[in-house]
Structure 1
Amino acid sequence: MLLTRPALTADDATATALLNCLVREVCAPEQQVWADGGHLVMRLPRVGVTLRTGLARPPVGPTYRLAPPFEERRTASWIATGWERLADLVAGELELVTGQANPEFLTQVRDSRATLGALLAARGDVGEGAREELQGAQGAVSCYLESEQSLLSGHRFHPSPKARQGSPAQWLPYAPEARARFLPRWLAVREELLIEEGDPAAFARLDELGPAVPPGHRLLPAHPWQLTLLANRPVLRKAFAEGLLHDLGSAAPEVAPTSSVRTAYVPAADVFCKFSLDIRITNCVRKNAWYELTGAVALNDIIQPIFASLEGCTFLAEPAYRSVALADRRLHEGLGVILRQGVGGLNGTPLLSAALADPYGSTLSRLPALATPEGALAWWDAYVQHVARPALRAYLEHGVILEAHLQNVLVAVDDEGMPVQTAFRDLEGTKLTPAWHDRLAALPPRVREAITYDSGRAWNRVVYCLLVNHLTEIAAAVADLHPGIDEDLWPTARPHFSSCGDHPQLRALLAGVPFPAKANLRARWARTADRTATYVPVPNPFAGP
């Protein structure tokens, strides 16, 4: 029986995200959560409040399907509780847990809710003809872009998943969730002031498609919003005034922002441009730091031969970057753009994994292969093979830590929707273990630091991204379609893990030790960097009943 997908509202999505975080990071570790019929009940012991929410079905692994109503216990009855009250209660409990306040927290939650409301309104303004064209598009690129731009609600286990600086008037023209398309701004940069690392031919196709430049200059694509943010930098204004840079304005080719907001796909060139954007989105300001620009090129040289040896997958290359050499580091970082390989060479139709897992979406249910329980189990078997095996082998055999979360993986499917190839992406989140120390010795210390993890953090990151953030969410989405197969999902997945070798970490994983889940709520409360986030234990579905 198909689980009815909930209608998406800004209020309910905000409340659900808060409660998901509360259960995972506070109530469950302290044994303050339990199922009661069709409800999930959670106690906040320090503020002395008990809450409950609807429970659509039993969990598949460490993930719940919460549903309205959201209620608070008052004397002998349950009363409706809105997202603002829930945010206040979560903040109160965290302040008592940690002994510290966070005056930014409630503002971030409100901003996230307001952003989602604006996105839903903008999405609803898309004309019927345009909507039919997008939904009916048969081309692989159109289907791919629809999956990239479908993530309205955001991360289910983040307290403010859609927090975004700026007003809707500023960011809606560049919002993937609003199905945005825009023209880049183009700069002509004096050749001696252009910085370029990596493959010198990487930008050739963009150079052909962009506007003409004066003699002695090179093209640099820029995000229009970012150029507005940098417009008052004195060094940039002087460079324009002296003719070191020329603003050529907005020009083709058209680009489409992907789920990360700042990375845009250029269909005409089949490349991605990963722009800097000095805007805080969810956790951090999305700029290309100087050490990330250099680190991407260094990592790409290491990663590509490794993935050439892994079957059924690829890693989208980041062969080069461009920026400017002006006496202002913020301009070097802020105008830096990393080029990423496109999706044209993938086998089949690429789909973003996050779109497949979205409980508010319908991408997974549109795939013919999942029409029956038997087909859905075969699809899950193929999916785990194509995603889990290469991610685990990359770490266990090569010391490469993939950030294989839902937004960093594309799965190419055939005409029936069966997975045939996986594409991993984003070298910013990719790290190396200390085993690579000698190979990295020639890099600047800050670059080495940015692209490596110690062994303890490495395994936690691999398991969290691959299993907690990714596969448990895909499993839940499959079980939404066919709840009767939920008990078969993880036994089906087990052989793909055990086939990756007899490693102590894998033995522990398959024996049922709890998974490490990144504590997004606590990280936001403590205002710590993502790299230093702590982890909380969550149930391991390999442990069985």
Structure 2
Amino acid sequence: MHRPPTAEAEIADELASVRPGLAAGYAEGLPGARAAVLTRLWRGLAHEPLPWVTRREPGREGLTLRLADGRRLHGPRADPYTTAGHVTTVRLDGAAYGDPARLMTELAVPHSAVFAAELGHSVASLALSRAGRHRHPEEWPARDWEWEQRVTDGHPFHPNCRSRPGFSVAEQLAYGPEHRPVVELELMPVPAGECLVTGEWPRWLREAGRLLVPVHPWQAAHVLKRTGEGRLAAHPLMALRTLALPDGPHVKTALSARLTSSVRDISLGSVAASAVLSDFGEAVAARTDGLLHITRTRGAVAAGSPDLAAVLRESPRAYAADGERVVPVAALATTGLPRSPAWLSRFTALALTVGLRLLELGVALEAHGQNLLVVLSEDGDPVRLVYRDLADLRVGPARLARHGVPLPALPERMVTDDERVLRRKLFGSLVAGALAGTAGSGPALRAALESVVRELPRTPDLAALTGEPLPAKALTLMRLSPRTSGDQWADLPNPLRDDAW
């Protein structure tokens, strides 16, 4: 029976045509990419509430999952906080699988075929990203976008860490930040009267009664199917659709492609709320005694559709003094700093102090490694935080009221007094995400947390953080549940509890 070519083979064929110099590095990188994605997948299988896993049996030889159809899936013990691609093989009824896409195909659970294809893309794109990896110079980057381009592996825990379906090899090389391209944004003219605008849309993006909307070239070619009336050079950031203008603001573009988990657009509601959110974020950040700054949104525009919209916001660099660096948390591993337990403890103290203080006020940040940045002194010490992209905040009116903070007119989906929702938002992104990804393992995360929590104010939120399972988005379950909207959650072993390991 003829089998269709795998994503690995398709990318190899395209690469031989468009960038043959990377072919050898790509081939050499495939085994490591498979292990990296399989490690993330095994984490999900081992810890998420998957309906077809009926029992989990830890033992000296690893972990065995009993499936609803009677089969057994066996692999190593799964540290949910590790970022090392250490899982090279798992066994399904004794048969060994090192390819996550093949494993998911053989599992044959509901919706596994689509997820298997995404896993194949994730492996192939990750090998491509690593093949083009640049050796980091000893000097730290001077420009904010250079930090972002050091991150080759994407999300530290998502099996689809590098899945970019719909992007050809040429497009990945042209637009992926890890390949360090300069991207030419299309400037689409739209009559001003047809646009929803909030904030200040700059004069240099206006002309003769029209607004010029920056559009990602992938979006222009595949969704809008037209070109603009000018171009704007920019440097892509980790989010791919967000780019840094040379020595200027960051521009978030519409990009209607599935990246990692979902198709991310710029909704009309988020454009309408952007100025209010920006003011609100700045007001609550002011209550952190200078430990947190929020990048302000300068202007946002939507031309009648989420497919044609853009947001301009400050560069995080605006909050660094001379000699300081602003580094996305996801890029900290490239500095080498987290290898020092003392440095990791200082960073953990800073992040938890800010996150818990805002949560007490009633604001739960989506503080993952892409949204959260740390300002480093000349000596590399973490001195304060910068947060960007307020679209996924959760805000508790009752908590705000207790602290005399007025509730602005926010989108309904952002507002809740559900304590569990608020804590999940912060703990799942900051502790199980940014801090775990920086620590790199459960034992390292535990050591950092233990050194910090005893010094924090004793609040119900801290009690929940230290005494309950740690929430994390169930990333594998979400990809296997396409008809279920919203986030789904897993309860991970709390690294502060003795029974966690």
CA deviation string 1:516-537 (max 9, x = no partner):
222111111111566x322222
Q: Do the aligned residues in 1 keep the contact of 2:192 with 2:210 (CA within 8 Å)?
A: yes
2:125 pairs with 1:149 = no
Greater RCO (Cα-Cα under 8 Å, separation 6 or more): 1
Corresponding position of 1:32: 56
Q: Does 1:516 align with 2:476?
A: no
Aligned mates of 2:314, 2:97 — CA distance in 1: 49
Matched-pair contact (CA < 8 Å) for 1:152–1:177: yes
What are the ranges of 5 or more consecutive residues in structure 2 without an aligned counterpart? 1-28
* 2:9 counterpart residue number: none
Mapped pair 1:181 → 2:203 = no
Which residue of the partner structure matches residue 105 of structure 1? 115
| Pick aligned residue for 2:319 from 342, 346, 354 | 346
Distance 1:460 1:316 in 2: 23
Residues 26 and 219 from structure 1, CA distance in 2 versus in 1: closer, same or farther, beyond 3 angstroms?
closer
- Partner SS state of residue 145, structure 1: helix
1:116 maps to 2:126: yes
Which residues of 2 match residues 478-493 of structure 1 at below 5 A? 488-493=447-452
Asked if structure 1 preserves the Cα contact closer than 8 Å seen for 2:478 and 2:488, the reply is yes
CA contact (8 A) 2:100 2:120 kept: no
CA–CA separation in structure 2 for the residues paired with 1:430 and 1:249: 35
Measure how far apart 1:219 and its partner are: 3.4
Secondary structure of the residue aligned to 2:390 is coil
What SS does the aligned partner of 1:183 have?
strand
Say if 1:72 and 1:274 are closer, same or farther in 2 by CA, change over 3 A.
Answer: same
Q: Does 1:451 find its partner at 2:430? A: no
User: Structure 1 residues 30, 495: CA separation in 2 closer, same or farther (over 3 Å shift)?
Assistant: farther
Map 1:341-420; keep pairs closer than 5 Å. 341-347=314-320, 348-356=324-332, 362-365=333-336, 367=337, 376-397=340-361, 399-420=362-383
Match of 1:284 in 2: 262
Q: Give 2:103's aligned residue.
A: 86
Name the stretch that deviates more: 532-541 or 101-110: 101-110
Contact preservation (8 Å) 1:272, 1:341: yes
Deviation by residue 1:43-84 (Cα, 9 ceiling, x = unmatched):
23434224224x7xx95x854756144142766xx8564333
- Conserved? CA contact 1:313–1:386, under 8 Å: no
Deviations 1:255-298 (A, max 9, x none): 111111111111321x1101111111122212101011112222
| 2:10 match | none
Q: In structure 1, give the amino acid aligned to 2:412.
A: E
Give the corresponding residue for 1:222.
215
Does the C-alpha gap of structure 1 residues 414 and 440 become closer, same or farther in structure 2, counting only changes over 3 Å? closer
- Gap regions ≥5 residues in structure 1: 1-5, 125-130, 238-245, 357-361
Q: 1:284 to 1:42 in 2, by over 3 A?
A: same
Provide closer, same or farther for how the CA distance between residues 420 and 106 of structure 1 changes in structure 2, counting only shifts above 3 A. Answer: same
1:260 aligns with 2:239: yes
Q: Deviations over 1:455-514 (max 9, x none)?
A: 13222222111211122232336x8xxx8x776423202135x32xx432322333x221
Q: Secondary structure of 1:167's match?
A: coil
Residue 310 of structure 1: CA displacement?
0.9
Shift in alpha-carbon separation, 1:316–1:346, aligned structure 2, 3 A: same
The change in CA–CA distance for 1:214 and 1:26 in structure 2 (over 3 A counts) is closer
Are the structure 2 counterparts of residues 306 and 44 from structure 1 closer, same or farther at C-alpha, using a change threshold of 3 Å?
Answer: same
The 3 A distance-change label for structure 1 pair 105 and 69 is closer
User: Residue type of the partner of 2:308?
Assistant: L
Question: Normalized against structure 1, the TM-score is what?
Answer: 0.75
The SS at the match of 1:516 is strand
Corresponding position: 1:428 with 2:391: yes
Q: Select 1:322's aligned residue among 301, 310, 317.
A: 301
Shift of 1:355: 2.2
Alignment-mate amino acid for residue 145 of structure 1: W
Supply the distance in 1 between the matched residues of 2:481 and 2:283 (Cα, whole angstroms): 39
CA drift of 1:440 comes to 5.8
Q: Does the CA contact (< 8 Å) of 1:323 and 1:336 recur in 2?
A: yes
Amino acid in structure 2 at the alignment position of 1:250: R
Q: CA deviation at 1:107?
A: 1.9
For residues 237 and 263 of structure 2, what CA distance do their matches in structure 1 show?
A: 17
Contact 2:224 2:307 in 1 (8 A): no
Q: Percent sequence identity over matched residues?
A: 23
Contact 2:83 2:437 (8 Å CA) reproduced: no
The whole-number CA distance in structure 2 between the counterparts of 1:214 and 1:461 is: 42
Q: Is the 8 A contact 2:55 2:66 kept in 1?
A: no
